[in-house]
Amino acid sequence: SIASADMDLNQLEAFVTAQTKKQGGITSDQAAVITKFWKNHRIKIHESLINQSRWDNVLKNMNWRVDLKSQSRHIDQINTPVAIVEMELGKNGQ
């Protein structure tokens, strides 16, 4: 919960205080350890979560155009727009 919400110190303090007051929750010593750990490793944990949620492939280039049919056997197909999209994917960081 702490990591997914990327809690600041005030939010963290409120969260661990609530957890110590819950029946079957954490002790005040555990709350102190969690708080100290989060203060020391918050940035690393946040970056790790961002990297885990990112796709391996990234969009490197994209081209698109809209074509209209100018000739067809059937009159109702003339001037029918068709979108053509070309996307180039690459590995993240390359």
Percent of the chain with pLDDT over 90: 51
Tell me, what's the pLDDT at 82?
Answer: 86
Tell me, what's the pLDDT at 94?
Answer: 61
Higher pLDDT, 19 or 71: 19
Query: What's the predicted TM-score (pTM) here?
Result: 0.54
How many other C-beta atoms are found inside a 10 Å radius of the C-beta of residue 17? 13
Which CA distances in Å does 41 have to 32, 60, 72, 76? 14, 32, 65, 64
**Phi, psi (degrees; rounded to nearest 5) at 83:** -90, 135
Q: How far apart are CA 51 and CA 91, in angstroms?
A: 13
78 pLDDT above the threshold of 90 = no
Q: How far apart are CA 93 and CA 24, in angstroms?
A: 45
Position 93 confidence tier, pLDDT thresholds 50, 70, 90: low
